């Protein structure tokens, strides 16, 4: 998918809104570079949809359109005064009706960044895997209180 500018993004969101919800999208939509783990979010207080700009490039147009449809479900239900949160039955029903995904896929670039640290207990050989580093001078094995070694 080619790079999308602000005007074409607004046009795409409005087209999807008319096609799947039969209602126009009249508020703001924008890219947010700070979004990391999510494809997009709807901010009810501002009536704004923010989308992750990495998704169209890494996962393709189909996944990106699914994210937009998901956020439009939040948007239209909120405007109508219905339950727009993930746990609300109206929201789940509208997701099914429009063929929108409940969750988005993880970005391949974020999967690579998840660095795992492995520690092994010197005494009982229990292996610990952690996302963050552990101070081996301060922390011990939770099973036998043995010393941990970075593997």
Mean pLDDT score of the chain, rounded to an integer? 91
- Tell me if 127 sits within 8 A of 119, measured CB to CB: yes
Give residue 80's domain range.
Answer: 6-111
The verdict on whether residue 126 carries a ligand-binding annotation is: no
Given 111, 126, 141, which residue is the final one in a domain? Answer: 111
**Cβ pair 12, 4 in contact under 8 A:** yes
Same-domain check for residues 87 and 125: no
Task: Note the pLDDT tens digit of each residue in 122-146.
Answer: 999 999 988 889 999 999 999 999 9
Does 78 belong to an annotated binding site? no
pTM recorded for the entire structure: 0.73
* Per-residue model confidence (pLDDT) at position 66: 94
Whether 35 is in a domain gets the answer: yes
Active-site annotation holder among 2, 19, 61, 71: 71
pLDDT value, residue 122: 95
114 confidence band (pLDDT: 50, 70, 90):
low
Residues 32 and 77 in one domain: yes
* Residue in the structure block whose two tokens are 């939509």: 29
Residue 89 lies in a domain: yes
CATH number for the domain harbouring residue 67: 3.30.2010.10
Residue 49 lies inside a defined structural domain of this protein:
yes
- Name the most confidently modeled range: 34-38, 60-64, 127-131, 145-149: 145-149
Host H or E run for residue 42: strand 40-43
Q: Is 71 a catalytic residue?
A: yes
Total count of domains within the chain: 2
Terminal-residue alpha carbon distance, the chain: 41
**Among candidate residues 100, 109, 115, the one with its CA nearest the CA of residue 36:** 109
In a domain, 1, yes or no: no
């Amino acid at each position: 998918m080619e790079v999308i500018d602000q005007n074409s993004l607004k046009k795409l969101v409005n087209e999807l809104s008319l096609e799947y919800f039969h209602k126009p999208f009249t508020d703001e939509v924008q890219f947010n570079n700070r979004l990391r783990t999510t494809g997009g979010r709807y901010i009810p207080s501002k009536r704004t949809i923010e989308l992750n700009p990495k998704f169209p490039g890494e996962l393709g147009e189909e996944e990106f359109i699914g994210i937009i449809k998901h956020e439009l479900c939040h948007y239209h239900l909120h405007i109508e005064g219905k339950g727009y949160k993930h746990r609300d039955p109206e929201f789940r029903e509208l997701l099914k009706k429009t063929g929108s995904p409940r969750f988005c896929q993880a970005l391949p670039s974020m999967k690579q960044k998840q660095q795992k640290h492995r520690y092994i207990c010197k005494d009982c050989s229990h292996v610990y895997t952690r996302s963050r580093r552990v101070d081996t001078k301060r922390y011990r094995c939770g099973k036998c209180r043995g010393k941990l070694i970075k593997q």
